[in-house]
A and B are shown apart, each in its own frame.
Chain A
């Protein structure tokens, strides 16, 4: 949480020649971070970030305590001005009735007192100004005092109109399920059994303690008598209730962080003083203080060696204890110096929930000594023999290859909308659902990379002649047991031709050393990875050992229309995990042939519907002397193949070539028109 502290108010608690800029810089290095200083009139206001473990700092007093410990480390004098020794006021009897009970132990401590006030009026200017500089709106003197007190000391409190609670009873109890409450900002809530409320004995709810007052008991213009009330709540209850109804008052934000129950008493006494001063209050009852189980700070045993080991330097014991004492820690060092000699350290009550283990002591010493004063040392231990998962390196390899082959990498969110799922004919039931999506676009975890890619193609088609895109990311597939399966997939697109894309995919397999894979038309049963994205007659699947490496094909015309994609678009969708399984970086060496190859082009007449792949494969299989078969061109009913003949052991004779040539021509007759 961030708090605003006026400089003028802070200096009521600390005497120091430090400038606001120095306070900002030095506190940030050793204590709370001062995010900025704003000049307001002749005053300055600090905006300070208070971490959730340090609720003791969320006040003028808390910041002053930190400053008093930190500034002297930078050579600047700082004296904490003790203004917290409030006296128990004298009480004018007879006491007005007030009955507080907490039979279920819902609070750690409850304090209350009845006062008669002179008048309800706007606060004095200096109170108003301080509240406003601290970001709180001024209402009237009675309410302002509770806020002023919270800012000054860091404990929330509440003020009731005594006469609006006819029974003068305060029964603190768990709410009933569905019990209604109207808070003082006139909002209605139906409570649950986990919430804690105050009942006036008639079943009427008169407060949501620690969070917000109710409309039916709050002070107003006609208030004559008040009950000033402070309770130390159970932080977890405050938190749950406040989060459940979204009532995030400053009081709730503090109370859920467990402020010091000891501070509650100090706050009550200071509050009484303020009511006397600013509202002409007279005390009309005894001070009630219900404090069944007092908690005390734990003694922490820690050796100076332990502290110095973490600090990486050797601080003398005196410096360590001086630092701790400057933070009001008590040190009981045992007189007996033994080998296992340890400091016995007792934190102040306001640090009792935050400082509990030796590491916490290390932090206190280290931060006040100054992290900037510690040396900077490079790691020196042994380098562990652990290894990185192979797929990370392969993914990187693939991305780099695609980049240099002219593709632009995209990154889409891992979630998409129900609309998009339906648009591409997938089913929401196959998806993992986000329980608390931010918008409908973040509702379902994607099981396929293609849908968002189609949106991106559609969106970008006017910016490029031919979009060559890719994304390599995980998809999230629900499983019956345990965590979902997270599989890395790769989607590659182009708008040139099926064959260009097929070449890219084959190039990738070659780059990864994946050999002897099978490519065939899509088997719809096997291809559970959404083959319906592809044109049924212009698509292909790659398999190895019955595992699907990937699918490529022309985007299904229906989807192209649905997404308004104008150009013919081709998509490859590859399973990275399966590619990783067959990854083989080892290359095999074959000696460079001593004898020159003979290369000949063959133009063969074939039927236009004949698949070329098998022809080339069969020519390759004709003889060991056929070293390579390449497609040069295809035109209507003719194909031109460039065939390399080679014998690694000798020069080929004209006769040998002739035999091969005849075989090829004979074979090609099978494919003739």
Chain B
């Protein structure tokens, strides 16, 4: 037995020394000390040897066990140490997941939607080819009204409805005002027509194309209707959006303006991000025109079947593209770039 033990020790120490990683070391460990391992079997034989030899051989067995265990432990430390020496070139570029790009317009729409969702505004979308009635007439602009000029409207060949007029390519998202009162009002509990908090985001079209105009663009229209809505509410709404979208350092002002469908009407200016309000070639005396808005005209409420004696509200409309560019420092020389679909442009965002 003594011979066997010494032979085992020799083999074991050599086996341990030969291992090159922790897995093989573990295998060697099991070969020796596992339930049917070489050492385990020999140690079991201890019971059968004569009594007088037991203390000596028992001691030897323990010593050899300890010795092998120490060797394994030592080898383990060495192997771990060796792992630490394994080196890779960390400057080699990473393997990226497929990375696509959402168009600026989509990104902005998502962000705007989130901002208004937080204060309870429901996003909607209405026809882009709509009746003249929704695009103009119900907005207090009867046929041939000069205010219609401002919209450079595209018309579509088609039937003319005695009630709704012709097809137009919506020149603004304000066609959603009366449509919103008609459809959102219906989703409220019976007998209620308001409050309405609506954000309408859609494609719009105007007969214009130059470095700062595109024939197709996107607008978002906020409409809020409730009892006792006042100009300070409109200011609060604007201040909220500007803080969320542009950050707390941008200022705004309201200028008196005229729209047929709001009374009073305003234009909103936001302080220029380039000159910080001092005045530069990108702005008008430190201000950039952001949006048009106003308190809803009583006639428009009437077109939406709401009683202006009971309800009041405000409406506000912006261009998605313009709004994005006023924040981001993306100053395009030619806004038509947005719709030219050059991937060298699209993949920058």
Q: Point out residues on A near B: beta carbons under 8 Å.
A: 24-25, 28-33, 35-36, 51-54, 235-236, 239-240, 256-257, 309-313, 357, 359-360, 362-363, 366-367, 371-372, 374-379, 381-389, 392, 396, 399-400, 402-415, 432-439, 442, 445, 456, 459-460, 463-464, 467-469, 474, 476, 478, 483-484, 486
Contacts and interface: CB of A to CB of B under 8 A. Distances in A.
Contacts of B235: 371, 374-377
Contact of B239 (A33, A52, A54, A376): A376
B91 interface: no
Contacts of B157: 432-435
Greatest chain A CB density within 10 A among B127, B128, B146, B226 is at B146
A392 B343 contact: no
B284 A367 contact: no
B103 interface: yes
B128 A474 contact: yes
30 contacts: A33-B255, A235-B146, A257-B146, A309-B228, A310-B312, A366-B231, A371-B231, A371-B254, A371-B256, A376-B232, A378-B233, A379-B236, A383-B195, A383-B197, A384-B184, A385-B187, A396-B110, A403-B101, A404-B98, A408-B101, A414-B216, A432-B157, A438-B208, A442-B154, A442-B215, A445-B156, A460-B341, A464-B343, A483-B131, A484-B158
Given A54-B258, A413-B216, A385 B230 contact: no
A36 B98 contact: no
A580 B230 CA distance: 39
B298 A375 contact: no
B298 A359 contact: yes
Given A374-B235, A376-B239, A386 B122 contact: yes
Nearest to B259: A51
A384 B226 CA distance: 10
B232 A375 contact: yes
B129 A486 contact: yes
A579 B285 CA distance: 50
Contacts of A483: 127, 129-131, 167
B256 A409 contact: no
Contacts of B127: 483, 486
A403 B102 contact: yes
Given A383-B197, A384-B195, A432-B156, A359 B295 contact: yes
A359 B341 contact: no
A388 B123 contact: yes
B128 A486 contact: yes
A363 B263 contact: yes
Greatest chain B CB density within 10 A among A32, A399, A408 is at A408
A216 to B, nearest CB: 30
Greatest chain A CB density within 10 A among B196, B208, B230, B297 is at B230
A414 B124 contact: no
A442 B153 CA distance: 13
B277 interface: no
Contact of B156 (A310, A405, A433): A433
B99 interface: yes
Dominant SS at the B interface? mixed
Nearest to A36: B284
A382 B123 contact: no
Interface residues of B, number: 86
B101 A384 contact: no
A467 B343 CA distance: 9
Contacts of A392: 123, 125
Contact of A389 (B110, B125, B312): B125
A310 B322 CA distance: 30
Interface string B116-139: 000110111101111100000000
A412 B341 contact: yes
Interface in B246-265: 253-258, 263-265
Contacts of A437: 154
B347 interface: yes
Contacts of A414: 128, 169, 203, 205, 216
Nearest to A377: B232
A218 B121 CA distance: 61
A375 B233 CA distance: 9
B239 A359 contact: no
B295 A310 contact: yes
Nearest to B107: A409
B230 A310 contact: yes
B207 A438 contact: yes
Nearest to A357: B298
Contacts of A438: 154, 207-209, 215
Q: Which 8 A-B pairs have the closest CB atoms?
A: A406-B98, A312-B230, A363-B264, A51-B258, A383-B120, A312-B232, A403-B100, A377-B232
Nearest to A256: B146
A381 B295 contact: no
Nearest to B153: A436
B47 interface: no
A162 B338 CA distance: 59
B254 A463 contact: no
B344 interface: yes
Contacts of B169: 414, 434
A457 to B, nearest CB: 10
Contacts of A385: 187-189
A412 B228 CA distance: 43
Interface string B184-198: 100111000011111
Contacts of A404: 97-100
A367 B129 contact: no
